[in-house]
């Protein structure tokens, strides 16, 4: 039997608000109010986590000590994405970087900006450029830009 | 380990856009697996479905396929992750003493959702999701990190794609059956540098099912079991940036456990065939290292040597791999099914002669956060 195939087009849109937790809130308040990057340290292995984590995932130990970090670091890896689904508030091509912040043990995923995509390289020094209007979000860092520091 | 094996396998053809509902796909794979086993639904003691709510666009995605999986009046649960992890759970249930036999069935219709948005949603909403990264752009970060750490090149990644696409030509169920050259890969459209179109697996629809039985249950089935000789699954940190993207230590640990169970000391020599999760070309090189097929940092040398080609010491992804068809979640079961067919001698034009020990691998989470490894033997 020949039947016309029917497709139902929908879109799932559900508003959420996530409590970011005490640790996450402290981190985001410092970003918003003071333009500062803070990591949190595991008392056992001394690793400094950024973004902050309430628990050291390797030692299974609560992290305790806040450590003020420089707003600068090194590009560990990067990619130039030639597409967008509109999630990122950027035009294509979008440069994503894995940024190893000085003094932190992990790396932060963020945008790299103020640079021609062809000029980005691994090992390049970058610094955080903050958004004019900050709301207490990871996007209070606008992107990381090349730096001589 | 206690004896447990695979007695039936079934899968649909993998295609970009299938005119079947989730339930129709699951019914096709389930009935194929039962027919292959020479069994009826009554021979199945419990069912594990494999699905993901975001890919299905509905919560409790398993409910959409319960009738089609034949799970009425049976104990049924759902694994939300790659099919290899569904098979792990199915195996545990058959070993638990509560059940003798498990049907594991996975489905996906990649064509109905939006891969980039769905995989963006696997990232932490506070720190990572807003940046817009997804499976492909995070993989690209991993690919470059791997290049930096090991000296592997984009041409090395292309070699994986060329090999697996060449293999896929011989797989009648593969979605892409087309030979390509290194030049084709290098000149293909830039997606998220250094990854190009032919470094990325396609969007795929399909379903797959396997029947697992313990030693007591195997007499219900007509097929000789393919025994599970070793199995292990382990996870690394969820947060990208907290783990070394250039080396899959969770895979190293998982494979060592599975090898110890199976008595494997030199996997490159002792295994006859392997199916790995090559969602992106470069991943196969990383997984070589994690699986101990090459020394650390030397995955590229293994592909260059030809050892993992169809005529090599250990053919990898004779099915064409995920690069030839990537039904997300289903992929892990498809890996297990391919090596099962190889061990039975039923792999047609892509048969590796005399294969008696095989490995199947699957991943969960961004950039291979978790790894599952099965060692199987005839």
Per-residue pLDDT, B60: 86
Contact criterion met (CB below 8 Å) for B85 and B79: yes
Beta bridge partners, B78, equal B49
Q: Looking at residue B64, what is its pLDDT?
A: 85
**Residue B21 falls inside a structural domain:** yes
Query: Which residue on chain A is closest to B129 by alpha carbon?
Result: A87
pLDDT of residue B238: 86
Shortest Cα distance, chain A CAs vs residue B239, angstroms:
9
Contact state of B141 with A79 under an 8 Å Cβ cutoff: yes
- In the structure, what pLDDT confidence band is assigned to residue B374 with cuts at 50, 70 and 90? very high
Q: What is the largest CA-CA distance in chain B?
A: 55
Strand order in the sheet with B46-50: B75-79, B46-50, B101-109, B205-214, B4-11, B226-235, B370-377, B357-364, B273-275
Is position B101 within any domain?
yes
B15 contacts B176 by C-beta, under 8 angstroms: no
Q: How confident is the model over B3-14, as a mean pLDDT?
A: 98
Contact B144 A83 (CB under 8 A): no
How far, in Å, CA of A78 to CA of A109, rounded?
9
**SS3 letters across B86-107:** HHHHHHHHHHCCCCCEEEEEEE
Tell whether A108 lies on the interface with B, counting CB pairs under 8 A.
Answer: yes
pLDDT at B307 over 90: yes
The pLDDT of residue B109 is above 80: yes
Q: Is the pLDDT of residue B239 over 90?
A: no
Q: Which of residues 119-148 of B touch A (CB under 8 A)?
A: 120, 124-134, 136-138, 140-145, 148
pLDDT score recorded for residue A109 = 96
Chain B residues with CB under 8 Å of A32 CB are none
**DSSP strand pairing (B370-377 vs B357-364):** antiparallel
CA B111 to chain centre: 19
- Which chain B residue shows the shortest CA-CA distance from A137? B126
**DSSP letter string, B350-378:** GPPTT--EEEEEEEETTTT-EEEEEEEE-
pLDDT of the residue at A38: 97
Q: Is B293 on the interface with A (CB under 8 A)?
A: no
What confidence category does residue B115 fall into, taking pLDDT thresholds of 50, 70 and 90? Answer: very high
Range of the domain at B71: 4-114+203-220
Report yes or no on B216 lying in a domain.
yes
> Is B249 inside a domain boundary?
no
Is pLDDT at A148 greater than 90 in this prediction?
Answer: no
Of B114, B138, B241, the CB nearest to A107: B241
Please state, rounded to an integer, the average pLDDT across all residues of chain B: 97
For residue B103, what pLDDT is reported? 98
- Residue B71 belongs to a domain: yes
What was the pLDDT predicted at A106?
86
Which residue in B has a C-alpha nearest to residue A94's C-alpha? B192
Q: What is the mean pLDDT of residues A42-49?
A: 96
> What pLDDT, on the 0 to 100 scale, is given for residue B7?
98
Q: Is there a contact between A66 and A49 (Cβ–Cβ < 8 Å)?
A: no
Spell out where B115-225 has E strands.
Answer: 190-193, 195-196, 205-214
Report chain A residues whose CB lies below 8 A from the CB of B237. 57-58
pLDDT over 80 (residue A50): yes
Q: What is the CATH number of the domain that holds B24?
A: 3.40.47.10
**pLDDT (mean) for A91-117:** 96
- The residue among B61 and B217 whose pLDDT is bigger is B217
pLDDT of residue B182: 98
User: Does B127 fall in a domain?
Assistant: no
Task: Kindly state the percentage of chain B with pLDDT values over 90.
Answer: 96
In a domain, B81, yes or no: yes
Beta carbons of A79 and B193 less than 8 Å apart: yes
What interface predicted TM-score (ipTM) does this complex get? 0.97
Question: How many domains does the structure of chain B reveal?
Answer: 1
Measured distance CA(B210)–CA(B221) in Å, rounded: 13
pLDDT digits (tens, 9 = 90+) for B322-359: 999 999 999 999 999 999 999 999 999 999 999 999 99
pTM of the shown model: 0.97
Q: A98, B191: Cβ pair inside 8 Å?
A: no
Query: What pLDDT is attached to residue A57?
Result: 86
The answer to which of A18-27, B27-36, B61-70, B253-262 has the lowest mean pLDDT is: B61-70
pLDDT at B62 over 90: no
C-alpha distances in Å from residue B322, one per residue of B99, B192, B214? 32, 18, 29
Q: What is the mean pLDDT of residues B200-229?
A: 97
Asked if A87 lies within 8 A of B120 by C-beta distance, the reply is yes
The confidence score (pLDDT) of residue A149 equals 75
Q: Say if B207 falls within a structural domain.
A: yes
In this prediction, residue A2 carries a pLDDT of 85
Lowest mean pLDDT among A19-28, B59-68, B130-139, B141-150: B59-68
């Amino acid at each position: 039997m020949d039947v016309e195939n029917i497709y139902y087009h929908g879109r799932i849109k559900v508003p959420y608000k996530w409590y970011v937790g005490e640790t996450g809130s402290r981190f985001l308040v410092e970003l918003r109010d003071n333009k500062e990057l803070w990591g949190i340290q595991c008392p056992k292995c001394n690793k400094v986590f950024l973004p902050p984590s309430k628990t050291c995932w390797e030692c299974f130990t609560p992290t305790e000590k806040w450590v003020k970090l420089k707003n600068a670091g090194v590009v560990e890896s990067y990619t130039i994405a030639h597409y967008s689904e509109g999630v990122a508030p950027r035009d294509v091509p979008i440069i994503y970087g894995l940024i190893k912040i000085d003094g932190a043990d992990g790396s932060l995923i963020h945008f790299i900006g103020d640079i021609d995509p062809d000029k980005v390289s691994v090992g390049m020094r970058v610094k955080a450029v903050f958004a004019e209007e900050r709301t207490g979000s990871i996007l209070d860092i606008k992107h990381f830009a090349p730096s001589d520091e | 380990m206690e004896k447990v094996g695979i007695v039936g396998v079934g899968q649909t053809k993998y295609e970009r856009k299938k005119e079947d509902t989730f339930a129709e796909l699951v019914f096709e794979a389930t009935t194929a697996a039962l027919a292959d086993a020479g069994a009826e639904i009554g021979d199945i003691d419990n069912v594990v479905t494999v699905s993901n709510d975001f890919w299905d666009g509905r919560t409790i995605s398993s409910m959409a396929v319960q009738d089609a999986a034949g799970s009425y009046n049976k104990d049924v649960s759902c694994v939300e992750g790659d099919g290899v992890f569904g098979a792990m759970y199915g195996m545990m249930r058959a070993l638990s003493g509560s059940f003798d036999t498990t049907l594991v069935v996975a489905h996906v219709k990649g064509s109905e959702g939006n891969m980039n948005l769905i995989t963006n949603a696997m990232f932490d909403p506070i720190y990572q999701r807003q940046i817009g990264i997804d499976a492909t752009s995070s993989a690209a970060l991993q690919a470059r990190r791997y290049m930096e750490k090991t000296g592997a090149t984009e041409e090395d990644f292309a070699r994986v794609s060329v090999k697996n696409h060449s293999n896929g030509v011989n797989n009648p169920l593969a979605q892409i059956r087309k030979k390509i050259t290194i030049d084709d890969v290098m000149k293909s459209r830039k997606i998220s540098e250094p990854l190009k179109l032919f470094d990325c697996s396609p969007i795929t629809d399909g379903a797959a099912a396997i029947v697992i039985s313990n030693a007591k249950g195997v007499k219900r089935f007509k097929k000789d079991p393919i025994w599970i000789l070793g199995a292990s699954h382990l996870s690394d940190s969820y947060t990208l940036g907290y783990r070394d993207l250039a080396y899959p230590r969770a895979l190293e640990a998982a494979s060592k456990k599975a090898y110890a169970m199976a008595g494997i000391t030199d996997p490159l020599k002792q295994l006859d065939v392997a199916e790995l999760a090559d969602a992106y070309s470069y991943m196969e090189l990383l997984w070589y290292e994690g699986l101990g097929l090459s020394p650390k940092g030397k995955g590229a040398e293994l592909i260059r040597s030809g050892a993992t080609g169809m005529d090599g010491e250990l053919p990898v992804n004779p099915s064409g791999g995920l690069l030839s068809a990537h039904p997300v979640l289903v992929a892990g079961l498809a890996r297990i099914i391919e090596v099962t067919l190889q061990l039975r001698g039923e792999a047609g034009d892509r048969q590796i002669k005399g294969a008696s020990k095989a490995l199947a691998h699957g991943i969960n989470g961004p950039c291979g956060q978790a790894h599952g490894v099965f060692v199987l033997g005839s």
